[in-house]
Every structure is written in structure tokens, then in C-alpha cells.
Amino acid sequence: MKRYQDTMDSLHFTPEQKARMVDQLMEASASPVRRPHTFRRVAVAGVAAALALSVGVAGATGVLSDVGESFSALFGVSAAQTEIIDQIGYPIGASATSNGVTITADAIVGDTYSYAIVYSIRRDDGQPLVSQEVLESGDNALPLTFDSHDVTPGNPLAVLLGGGGGGYSRFYDADPNDNAIQFMEVWTFSSPIRPGKVTATFQGLYEASEDYLDKELLAEGPWKLEFHMAFEDSSVSLPAGQDFTLNGMDATLDAVTLSPLSIMVEYTVHQEVPQAERENGLEDGGNDPYAPFRDLPIVITYTDGTTLEIDSGNTHIGSGSGRAKCSIGLVFDTIRPLDEVASVTVGDVVIPVSQ
């Protein structure tokens, strides 16, 4: 239990997400739960959902060329990006209808630790789901929200115990010439994604005010989609085991996993986060006892000389027994093939990427 609580300490949630997470965990276990603490960039939408994700191989059907188009809003529309996504992504096609509104899981792209999935939402009578004013109000993100959205495994044994995850989601309009809008979610996990059928459930679709304090019901739902996620895992493992120094602490690089979609860096700091600082950090939102443990410079250098600095990834830290097990993961904004990567630098460790 102590290791699980230490893991929870290193995560960050919005107030709404905290409440949802606590409700889910209280239903699943009578054990007490600590308030989570901060990590950078990405808010976790609920550890219960994060731990419960499971991905299985299925005989997906459909036209693979549509997959790249589905993710153009996330990764761009260049021919090279679309070609890569078509190679590693798969269509899904599972749908659910409630009260005249249908949600369809269109496509997924993923790797060992991360995935992105696009859903389409449309009214069955052909009318627009939201007004033209709403469609034009969002800067690549429409002011919509679900009352709840969860992804859970069909097999309870597929739950990822002891891990965590983070991600983000947004609504957008991929094609102004149809009546559908899209909902996209991106997730990164600290443990490898494991096989198992999944069920995606949605409840209450709302149009929200700019500050999301006021909202108007568009469709009540619920919607329940059952499917197996399938994607081509193009991840490669880079040489690891090197020792380095992080903020004056001795550390070891455990693993670096790289794909066109994301990067995951796992390392051990040979010093644990002090218990007193952890407890104080929970009570003081301005104090982050985990910051020195995750302040790890990570830079990807491409063959054309450009670089990408990973300074805003999902961070997971489990501290105890005199050490801290850490991971930093990030889904890229742009898809690039691995043969364009020259090296990955972690701290002062430079790892060439074989071409």
C-alpha cells in the first residue's frame, strides 16, 4: 500500500478529475487514498481509468488510408505523416446510439506505452450537433464536455496494478461539410499496455461556457462501445544501463523506448523522496518534493539537425526502499519516422539511434 500511495503522490489532477478519481477508487477498494500531488503538463483523467486500460489484438477491418486522415488534426496533414499513421494505425468502427446520437470509435494509433484514439459524434437525423457559432468559436478545440467518460477492460486481470498514466482530450470539427464532430483522447502509461477487450462508456454530452462552469445538455446518453483496440507497435528499445547524475543525485538509466508516436524514459534515482517532504507537499500546493527527481533533460536530435526537447512529459514516480523509480513519457505533436532520429540524449548520456 505504501508504494501505491507514493505513486499517487507524484500525480496531478484538476479538481473535477480528483473527485471522479476518488469516486472510482472508493467503489473499487475500501483502502484509504491519499490526495495526489503534481506532475508537469498533463492532467490525469482518473487513475482508475488509467490503470484499467487494456489493449488487445483484433481483426480490424476498414480502409487503412482513412486512419491518417482521422489523426490529421493531431499530427498534421503532410503526406509523410499520413503515410506513417496509415502503417501503424488501425480503424475500429465500433458504434453506440442513444437518444438519436451515435458515437463511433473511428481509429487508433499506439505503441508500447501510449495511444491516441478518435471518436466521431453525430445526430442520426442529419442535423448539426451544435450551432455554427459554436463550431467557429473554438481554436481547434470546441467548448464541449462529457459528464463522464471511462475506458475499462473486459477482463479484470488486465488491470495495470501499480502504474499510472496521464493524457488529454479535446473536441473538434474535422470536416465542416458533415454533421459530425470529433472527440480525441491521447494517453501515456507508465506500464506497458496489456491485452484485453475494452469497453468505452460515455454519459452526458454538454456544450460548455468558456470557463466550463456553465453547461447545456446536448445529449444524455449513455453510450457503450465494446471493441478490441489494435495497432502496429513500432517501438524500439535503445541501449540503457548508463549511470548519470540528476541534481546531485546518482541515477541509472533503465530503459528508453522510442517510436514515431512517443518516447518513454525510465530511470532509477538512488535516493528516495523524503517522507516528510512528501507529506508536506500534499498539504502545500506550492511545494513539489518530486521536482528534483523528474527534472531530467531529454533531447531528441534529428538527422536534419533539428532537436526536440522533452520538457513537459507525463511523469510517474514511485519512491521507497532507498530509491525512486521514475518514468517520463510523451506523445509527440508531430509524427516522424525513426530513420530521421539521429540520437536521444538523457541527462548527459547520448544514445545514437541506429539507422
Q: Phi and psi at residue 72, in whole multiples of 5°? A: -65, -30
Question: Percentage helix, strand, coil, to 5, in the chain?
Answer: 20, 40, 40
288-317 pLDDT per residue, tens: 788 889 899 999 999 999 999 998 888 899
pLDDT value at 283 more than 70: no
168-225 pLDDT per residue, tens: 898 998 888 889 999 999 988 888 887 668 889 999 999 987 666 788 999 998 999 9
pLDDT value at 100 more than 90: yes
104-138 pLDDT per residue, tens: 999 888 899 998 899 999 999 999 998 888 887 76
d(CA 44, CA 18): 9
Q: Is 8 helix (H, G, I), strand (E, B) or coil?
A: helix
- How many helices (H) and strands (E) would you count in the chain? 9, 19
Res 155: pLDDT? 56
53-64 pLDDT per residue, tens: 333 333 333 333
**E strand intervals along the chain:** 89-98, 101-110, 114-123, 144-153, 165-172, 181-189, 198-208, 215-219, 223-227, 236-238, 243-246, 249-258, 262-269, 298-302, 307-309, 314-320, 323-331, 341-346, 349-352
pTM listed for this prediction: 0.75
**Is the sign of the CA dihedral 303, 79, 173, 19 positive or negative?**
negative
d(CA 273, CA 10): 10
Q: What are the structural domains of the chain?
A: 2-227 (2.60.40.1630), 236-352 (2.60.40)
d(CA 189, CA 165): 4
Pull the grid cell for residue 168. Answer: 488529454
Angle at 184 between CA 112 and CA 188, to 5 degrees: 25
- pLDDT band for 22, please (50, 70, 90 cuts): very low
